Each structure stands twice: as structure tokens, then as C-alpha cells.
Structure 1
Amino acid sequence: MVWNKLKTYGELVMFRHTLFALPFGLMGAFLASGGWPPFTNLFWILVALVGARNAANALNRLIDWKIDAKNPRTASRHMPRGLVKPQEVLILSGVGLALMVLAVFRLNHLCVQLMPLAVIILVGYSYTKRFTWACHLVLGLAVGLAPLGAWIAITGQMALPPVILTLVVALWVAGFDIIYATQDISFDRKERIHSIPARFGLKNALYIARAFHLTTILLLLSVPLFLNLGFLYFMGILAAAGLLLYEHQIVSPDNLSRVKIASYHVNELIGVTVFAFTLGDMFIL
């Protein structure tokens, strides 16, 4: 019974999608340390990342509950079907936020100072689709805070490399979120939900997603200008570029049948790939 409930909660917040933020968060921690981060710092960074991400996603499900119920594509989600009560989702989100706050206070003063801004972005994202097509970029920024937050957790200060990584993640996530949103163009226009596909059309939206992902790769290529990274890092970027290229090849204005593969399954590999090759570069070469 308990296991089934935990499984339901995990499905509700799409726990496996923690893979989008987590590798880049860890990457920020390792790059800030120039090697293995202190175990205590690494532990609390992980707690903060997992807590923040899942709290935000639970809130998103709660805030968008009625919209999801109207949309044929999302009407089968847990809340519209009554499998999870609003009070449960609110508690789940509260637990996640509590974990993030606990972790932040175990790190350093700058993390504590910046925490309210992070919470505003994490919570505010879910409302942005109600008034701006730039909602995809706000989602990207929310996820992109991971490497910047991890860097600050290690060093106690801001720096250019993690800001670049934040832009990398923001544009990467925004790009594949645009692809995902192409499924809902008709619904979004009908219900006055804002998105880049609904505002600019299917073809232009896919072009914008491609531009975001091209910029993602260019930004990743700029990181070694500031940090000591070499051959294996570049191999990781090449692998990520190949995955992004594949992602855009399997989706077109005439064929959206593989949108979920392109926007979710392929991208689950990208962060892990870049992080693995970055570690290899740091510790093997």
C-alpha cells in the first residue's frame, strides 16, 4: 500500500525527469571544486536539487489541475482522474520545499540570501503560461538554476562559468519544452494558454527550438575558455549535439508522432552524457 502510494507520487511529479537538472547541478559542483566536492556539501546540494525540482513539479500539477482536466491529452493525469487529492499534492510540494530550505541553510550565506528568488522562479513558472509565450524560457531558467546554485553552494560566490551553464540549461530545456508544446497548439489557442507554438505556429516554433539548441551547443563550447577542460569534454559536447540533431530530425511539422521521444527520452540522456564526459575529462585526462 505504502509502496503503491509512493509510486503514484513519483509518477505524479515525473521523478525520473530529475535527470534534466541533476547532472548539470552536479557538474556545477564538481567544476566549482576543481575535483571531488566535500561530501557534506555534495549531500546537501543533492537534497536541495531533488527537493526543489519535485516541489516545483508537484505545484505545477496542482496549479494546472483544471487546465489538465480540459485538455484531452492530459485529462488522464493523476489529479484530473482523482487518483491524488489536492491536499496530498500540497503536502508533497511542502515536503520538497522544506528539504530545499533545510539544505540551503546547511550550505552558505549567499545560498540563503538567493533562496527567495529561486522559490519565486520555481513557483511562478506554472503561472507564466497564462500571460506570456516566454513561459518555456522561465521553465528553462527554473531548471537552469541547478548548476549556478551548486557552484554557489561550493564557492559562496557568483562566477561567469556557472552563469553560462545556467543559460545552457535554460535554452536546452526551453527548446525541448517547445517541441513538447506542439502537441497542444489547438487546445492552447482555444483556451488562451500562451506558448511559442500557439503564438508563432508549428513550423516557426520548431525553428525557434532549433535555434535555442544550437545556442546551447555554442555556449557549452565556450565553457573551456574559462575552465580547464579538454578533449573528453569536447567529445561529450559532440555526443550531446548528435542527440539534439537526432531529436530535431524525428520531429517535423508533418509528423509529430515522436514528440514525446524527442522532448523527453532523448533529453534524459543529454545531461547525463555531458556530465559523464566532463568527469572523465577532469579525472582521467
Structure 2
Amino acid sequence: MTPRDPVTLPDAAPKNWVDIYAPLSWRPWLRLGRFDRPVGIWLLFLPGAMGLAYASAVTGTAFPLYFLILFAIGSALMRAAGCAFNDLVDRDIDAKVERTRNRPIASGQITPKQAMAFIIICCLISLLILLQLGTLAIGLGVGSLALVAAYPFMKRITWWPQAWLGLTFNWGFLMAYAAVAGEITLPALLFYAGLVFWTIGYDTIYALQDIEDDVMAGVKSSARALGAKAREGITLIYVLCFVLTAISAALAPLAWPFYVAQALIGGHLAWQVYTLRPEDGTLALKLFKSNRDAGLIWVAGLILCGFTR
């Protein structure tokens, strides 16, 4: 008789591949790295893909498929390491929050020492990938460790931990741009800034699920900071995202396919805000996950710019 897995995580898809196919002994480890919720891997990977495509379009070089594969693997590993570190730091808070109390460390399925070993292994493999990206990209990659290490503490320090997440999650854009172009330019920095606001917006939507639990646990978030003005605040944040990325494209300059993609992005972000119901946690999760599609639109537009030279 196959043993039954008693663990359910409400922000994972009810029929995700981990719960269906993975052996029971692997599931706590895969959940620790959030492999049952791949949207986070997408949201970490897509800025890197954008950086590769942006730099290729600007420099007139072929799109680097090998680098794309490296960024895909590295994103999965570093997201796993970051989530494990976050859970390690937040294990006491997670135990008090309904959505997170069954996470592997908070529920005792994985010990803190085992989690640390998991983090080290993911980081060592990621280092081997990083060493193939060039001097500037390597330096940026090493610098990102400070952002990753500080993030779990931001919810205790500031009402806007989502801003720190934005700096961290989109760092791959700068690394990818540097790997192709060998430098960081003002247009690249502006696009990165726009992506930071994108992350603040979508992670504020995500945080709407946890407002009541966060109040009880004493955890700060942009969703709590905005309160009844969540829709207006997210609208402003997304407008800043749209404007900064558009200015970046004009300064680069990027070709017309980007502006087609940008128009679609504007419509998609407007749809998120229009559809949003702050009190509806299920809808908030759905809208959060839809940002994978927004990122793919940006990537497609940037890649197509390379074919219009």
C-alpha cells in the first residue's frame, strides 16, 4: 500500500507535479525549493531572459541560447536556495500563518541543519554556472548574495519588503545584460528599475492573501501599508513600471516589436488592476501567477527586436 502524503500547501496547484509524481521522500525537499510552485522560478528567470534579449538587440549580436539555458538552471537553483533560506529564517513566523504552517521546516519535516546543507549545495552548483558568464556578470552575481541574504529580514524592518524583493528578483536582468554587453548602461538601469516596480506590484497582489495572518504575526508588507488603497497603490506602481521600461526602450533605442509587446503589457497590467478584489485571496493568487505571461510577452518583444536590425 502506498503511504499517503498528508501535507497540503494552499498556494500550490492542487495537481502539481510534485504531489502527483515525486516519491514521498523527495516531496519535502522539492517543496522546500518551491518546485511545486514553478511560477516563482519563471519570475526569477524571465528578467534574465529579458536582459539577454535586450542586450542582444542593442549590441546587434545573436541571441545567446547557451546563456539562456544557464540562466534557466541557475534561476531554479537560486530560487530554491532563496526560498529555503527564507523558510529557515521565518520558521517561527511560518508556523503561525495558515498558508505557510505546513512548509517543510516550520512543520518539522526538514531540520534547520538539513535546510542549510540544501542551500549550500544549490549555491555551489549556481556558482559553477556563474563562472561562465564573464567578469562583470560574476561580480554582479556575487553582489546579489547580499540582497538575497537580507530579504527575509525586510518584513521585520520595513513596510515595503516587496521593494527589496524587486531589487533581488530582477538582478538577473543586469547580470544577463552584462554577460552579453560587457557593461551596464543607463537604458539597462532604467529597464531594471521598471522591472523592480513590476515586482513590487505583483508581489503586493500576492501579499493580499496574507493580510490577516500577517497582522497576527506582526509581519509588515506593502499590502498592509496600502490597506484600503491597495488598488490605487498597485495602479501607480504599475504605471511607474510601464513608464520606466518605455523610456528605457526609447533611449536604447529598441525597434518596433518592443512597443507592440509594451502595449500588450500595458493592457495586461491594467486588466490585473481592474480585476483585482483585495479581499479575494484566490483571485489575488491567480493574478499574481498571470505575471509569468506578462514576462513572456516582454521576452518575445525583445527577441523580435533582434530580427529587425
Indicate whether the TM-score tops 0.5: yes
2:283 alignment counterpart: 258
Corresponding residue to 2:174 among 148, 151, 158: 148
Q: 2:292 & 2:26 partners in 1: Cα distance? A: 22
Q: 1:229 & 1:111 partners in 2: Cα distance? A: 23
Q: Is 1:54 the equivalent of 2:80?
A: yes
Corresponding residue to 1:269 among 279, 286, 293: 293
Cα 1:223–1:6 change in 2 (3 A) is farther
Residue 237 of structure 1 aligns to a residue in which SS? helix
2:273 alignment counterpart: 248
Tell me the matched-pair count. 283
- Indicate if the aligned counterparts of 2:209 and 2:285 stay in contact, CA closer than 8 A: no
Deviation track 1:208-254 (CA, whole Å, cap 9, x = no partner) reads 22211111111222232233423321121122222212222222345
- Indicate if the aligned counterparts of 2:206 and 2:284 stay in contact, CA closer than 8 A: yes
Report the alpha carbon displacement of residue 49 of structure 1 after superposing the two structures with TM.
3.3
Report the alpha carbon displacement of residue 38 of structure 1 after superposing the two structures with TM.
4.5
Counterpart residue type for residue 267 of structure 1: N
Cα 1:9–1:250 change in 2 (3 A) is farther
TM-score, scaled to structure 1? 0.88
- Indicate if the aligned counterparts of 2:52 and 2:64 stay in contact, CA closer than 8 A: no
Corresponding residue to 2:236 among 206, 211, 222: 211
Gaps of 5+ in 1: none
Residue 283 of structure 1 aligns to a residue in which SS? coil
1:283 alignment counterpart: 307
Residue 170 of structure 2 aligns to a residue in which SS? helix
Cα 1:113–1:35 change in 2 (3 A) is closer
- Indicate if the aligned counterparts of 1:229 and 1:281 stay in contact, CA closer than 8 A: yes
2:196 alignment counterpart: 170
Cα 1:58–1:110 change in 2 (3 A) is same
Q: 1:196 & 1:151 partners in 2: Cα distance? A: 29
Q: Is 1:220 the equivalent of 2:245?
A: yes
Corresponding residue to 1:194 among 197, 220, 238: 220
Q: Is 1:21 the equivalent of 2:44?
A: yes
Structure with higher helix content: 1
Aligned alpha-carbon RMSD (Å): 2.5
- Indicate if the aligned counterparts of 1:35 and 1:283 stay in contact, CA closer than 8 A: no
Cα 1:12–1:245 change in 2 (3 A) is farther
Residue 217 of structure 1 aligns to a residue in which SS? helix
TM-score, scaled to structure 2? 0.82
Report the alpha carbon displacement of residue 279 of structure 1 after superposing the two structures with TM.
1.4
Corresponding residue to 2:141 among 93, 111, 115: 115
Cα 1:260–1:51 change in 2 (3 A) is same
Gaps of 5+ in 2: 3-20
Counterpart residue type for residue 144 of structure 1: N
Q: 1:155 & 1:237 partners in 2: Cα distance? A: 23
Deviation track 1:165-220 (CA, whole Å, cap 9, x = no partner) reads 2212211111111122122223323332111232342x223322221111111122
Q: 1:38 & 1:197 partners in 2: Cα distance? A: 38
Q: 2:182 & 2:249 partners in 1: Cα distance? A: 22
Report the alpha carbon displacement of residue 148 of structure 1 after superposing the two structures with TM.
0.5
